[in-house]
Chains A and B, each alone.
Chain A
Amino acid sequence: MEAFLFFTCGALMLLGGVMMVLQRSAVVAALWLVFAFIAAAGVFAALSAPFVAIMQVLVYAGAIMVLFLFVIMMLHGPVLDGERKRLPLPMWPAVAIPPLAVLVLVGGWLSGRKAEALPAAPEGFGAPAQIANLLLGRYLLAFELISIVLLVALIGALTLGLRERKLPWS
């Protein structure tokens, strides 16, 4: 059951990613990315990590992608017209990624059938309590450093955005 969920969601996630790259309209591409994120949440759920799965939907699909869409819509996101046939050169390596990913998935599925002896997740695995203990205990330093990086990025973006205006303290 879990293997079935994992591979279905994995395939859907790949589909979302491929469709996103193929879209001509930036808005539709962003919506396919939302689809891929939700499928990724399904993968996490199948790996008995329900908290991460819900976080994926809440943060990525619910908040970050809305901000993406917001910006794309405000800037009248680009819609490619139908003339271009050939991909520009730097895009070519990217084309190889989806087939490779499909290969990995199929390979995993085939080998997963044989390997039955996957150990079951321990009691309380992926529960909020365990994640909190790890984040605010063992990995506290990394957790705080990441918050500082995000804060610096936020202030940096604000400063860049305010460049044109006269700053109140200058």
Chain B
Amino acid sequence: MKLMYDFFTGQLGLGAAGANITVAAVMAVIMFTVMALCAIILTWMERKVAGFMQSRYGPMYTGRFHGWAQAVADMLKILGKEDIIPAEADKGLFKFAPILVLLGSLLAWAAIPWAPDFVAADFDLGLFYIFAVSSLVVIGILMAGWASNNKWSLYGAARGAAQMISYEIPLALAVVPVVMRAGSLNPQDIVIAQQGGIWHWNINPITNPFLFIAFFMYFIASIAETNRGPFDMPETESELVAGYHTEYTGMRFAFFFLAEYANLFLVSMIAALVFLGGWWAPFPGMGWIPPALNFIIKGVLLVFLNMWVRWTLPRVRVDQLMHLCWKVMIPVSLLCVVGAGVWMMAWGQLK
């Protein structure tokens, strides 16, 4: 960021305000490109993982090597589809909903620290901001379900909203112990506080067992938050066709699809930066690995874990989902917050 800023002020002779705006614009384009690329790569990955879990190959022919071009072909197919808006739909809302869903995750991507000096929006309340803007996705989903004027869409949207609002609570509570430990809400500070190898990461159960539990609370809540199996109630194919995006085709459907994978990678990146040391290498002698690569590998491994869970466990019922959230995860997360605080006071780890 500093480098880019210096380039614009020094080499191109821009003023401070002009350079700031240019850096912001460049970062926005970079983030959007990375997001689109990650959606394409993760689609392919999901198919291969699903195939592996079900003892089959997954895509094999498109692009010769393990069907790597299948995701690209699918994207081209989606872009070529006819754009249909149902006659009885609320047209304005129907068009705006996919944009809002994508906007929520793109805004959250801005505050992710990829490397020591590479974060689009570096500010003190970053982590809090990420949770706030990603809650806008819920409104987009509700809008999509209602505007489609289709009862399956509305059911899917209602389930999605109920689920995402409920699981936002344990998701945010699970991060609180880490914020207490680092003494900051800035994602970059939280990563820097975990310097020095795998045993300094927040997940280490010896430093603080409550943070170890909090990681699992976060992980389970993040699966529900991204509406993926076994918590994919908003899109249950067997009962709701496709949930809130049943009526969407072409580019608008692609937006939902993009947002789903962007969100999946987003929650994995947050888990990586909050609990798994962000861009730090796992062992001291591995400083030669680029920080961003460390970070992306951790994110992709967590995405793999997520897919593993999705293709292994059967779907839960709505009441089981709510029971798990309100009667198990929220009390345990609250206990984690209290326990982590007491532990840190007892061992003098508080900042």
Partners in one complex: yes
Q: Which residues of A contact B (CB under 8 A)?
A: 25, 27-28, 31, 34, 50-51, 54-55, 57-58, 61-63, 65-67, 69-70, 73-74, 127-128
Contact-residue size bin, chain B (C-beta under 8 Å from the other chain): 20 to 34
Q: Say whether, besides A50-B124, A57-B133, A73 and B138 are in contact (CB < 8 Å).
A: no
CB-based contact B136/A128 at 8 Å:
no
Q: Measured between alpha carbons, how far is A67 from B164 in the docked complex, in Å?
A: 12
Residues of B within 8 A of A27 (CB): 90, 93, 146
Q: Say whether, besides A66-B165, A73-B146, A74-B158, A51 and B139 are in contact (CB < 8 Å).
A: no
CB-based contact B125/A66 at 8 Å:
no
1/0 per residue, CB under 8 A from A, across B128-151: the answer is: 110111011011001101100000
CB-based contact B161/A66 at 8 Å:
yes
Query: What are 24 A-B interface contacts by the 8 Å CB criterion?
Result: A31-B139, A50-B125, A54-B128, A54-B132, A57-B135, A58-B132, A61-B135, A62-B132, A62-B138, A62-B168, A63-B135, A63-B165, A65-B139, A66-B165, A69-B139, A69-B142, A69-B146, A70-B142, A73-B142, A73-B145, A73-B146, A74-B158, A127-B124, A128-B185
Q: Measured between alpha carbons, how far is A30 from B168 in the docked complex, in Å?
A: 21
With both chains docked as a complex, state the minimum distance between the C-beta of B262 and any C-beta of chain A, in angstroms: 18
Residues of B within 8 A of A62 (CB): 132, 135-136, 138-139, 168
A57's partner among B124, B136, B146 (CB-CB below 8 A) is: B136
CB-based contact A61/B139 at 8 Å:
yes
Ranked nearest first, the 10 interchain pairs of A and B with the lowest CB-CB distance are A62-B135, A58-B132, A57-B132, A54-B132, A66-B138, A69-B142, A73-B146, A54-B128, A66-B161, A50-B125
Known A50-B125, A62-B135; further 6 A-B contacts with Cβ < 8 A: A31-B139, A51-B128, A55-B132, A61-B136, A66-B139, A66-B161
In the complex, whether B154 has a CB less than 8 A from a CB of chain A is: yes
Q: Say whether, besides A27-B146, A74-B158, A128-B185, A51 and B125 are in contact (CB < 8 Å).
A: yes
Residues of A within 8 A of B132 (CB): 54-55, 57-58, 62
CB-based contact A73/B158 at 8 Å:
yes
Residues of B within 8 A of A74 (CB): 158
CB-based contact A70/B135 at 8 Å:
no
In the complex, whether B52 has a CB less than 8 A from a CB of chain A is: no
With both chains docked as a complex, state the minimum distance between the C-beta of B22 and any C-beta of chain A, in angstroms: 17
Closest to A58 in B: B132
CB-based contact B131/A128 at 8 Å:
no
